[in-house]
Amino acid sequence: MKILLTGAAGFIGAHVAREARARGHDVVGLDAYLAAAHGPGAVVDPSVVRRDLRTDPLDDVLDGIDVVCHQAAMVGNGVDAQDLPAYAENNDAGTARLLAAMARTGVRDLVLASSMVVYGDGRYTCPEHGDVPPAVRRDDDLEAGRYDPRCPRCGGDITLREIGEDTPLLPRTSYAASKVAQEHYAAAWCTLESARTIALRYHNAYGPGMPADTPYAGVSAIFRSAIARGEAPRVFEDGGQVRDFVHVHDLARANVLAIEQVAQHPVGLTPYNVASGHRFTIGQMAATLSRAAGGAEPVVTGDYRRFDVRHVVASPAAAREGLGFVAEVTPEDGLARLAHDPLRTR
């Protein structure tokens, strides 16, 4: 297959390009080399065409393409509200322009990099009120060291549920809002063009080549960089926050499976959670990394960030049934390896 891969110079995109080529596909890679991700004087990978989805022509590179795999995005949580326009321009407008170009050139199959952040705080069970989205955590609770969210109706204790793809989307950050928008634009394009999209909702990505500590980095890059500097990982809240850490090797495999099968999917957008299927707390993650690196013991600080969600665990069952995707790397093994994996400094 001939694939147009956006974000091909990025952390996940570079792994997708390698995996797709290893499976015999022809990959045309694009990247804007955003300064926030690559630094001002980025080294341009000669196999990746420099194009900015916001402004550059796209029809020529779509010629003869079977499937577009859209990884290009401004990532992270966003530092503050001043980031909103950059997320909207890169992620919302960039995707809308790409979809319009695909409509002009007759490309009707898309694999979209989405994220579990579209679910926000996820879903819980209240003994009295059943399936509920949790209430937004209150400052007085967080200050008092109560980190688990409450029932939005009675304020009582609630239990975390594993969430499926039909869970309502409740974005909490600028980045999450832009990922929901990308899914919605893609769904609208599917309706207009009788086209197909697979949206892969990635869980917490990590692995070799991930960007070192930046204001937009995820927790595993922050901890890995701290250990490399000889510092202890600083674990927020009580370290009991649950995530699913999925290795970039598995994310690349999920993308290639989706690329190969999107044409057999129905018209419209099909979302899949892409997860390892293993629950891991942030405290466990910090300890696994430190131990493997022989670094300092993690410090649990009790600090908190208002935009953080407490726990996110989604079911990997649909990706197994719909794509035949099962993660190969467990967080125990992959995070221990991350302690020695090279990071990308720029």
Residues that bind ligand UD1 (CB under 6 A): 75-77, 115-117, 175, 202-205, 216-219, 222, 234-237, 241, 243, 282, 305, 308-309
Nearer to ligand UD1, 25 or 208 (CB): 208
**Closest distance between ligand UD1 and the C-beta of residue 19, in Å?**
18
Other CB atoms within 10 Å distance of the CB of residue 64: 11
**Overall size of the chain counted in residues:** 346
Nearer to ligand UD1, 119 or 189 (CB): 119
The b-or-e profile of 190-202 (16+ CB within 10 A means b, else e) is beebebbbbbbbb
Residue with tokens 């869970």: 167
Closest CA to 69 of 160, 6, 27, 14: 6
What span, in angstroms and rounded, lies between the C-alpha atoms of 142 and 25?
49
DSSP 227-238: HHTT---EE-TT
Which residue number is nearest to ligand UD1 in terms of Cβ? 218
In contact, 58 and 96? CB cutoff 8 Å = no
**Closest distance between ligand UD1 and the C-beta of residue 27, in Å?**
23
Helices (H) and strands (E) in the chain, counts: 12, 16
**Closest distance between ligand UD1 and the C-beta of residue 191, in Å?**
26
Nearer to ligand UD1, 117 or 289 (CB): 117
**Closest distance between ligand UD1 and the C-beta of residue 233, in Å?**
7
Nearer to ligand UD1, 105 or 273 (CB): 273
**Closest distance between ligand UD1 and the C-beta of residue 6, in Å?**
17
Nearer to ligand UD1, 119 or 185 (CB): 119
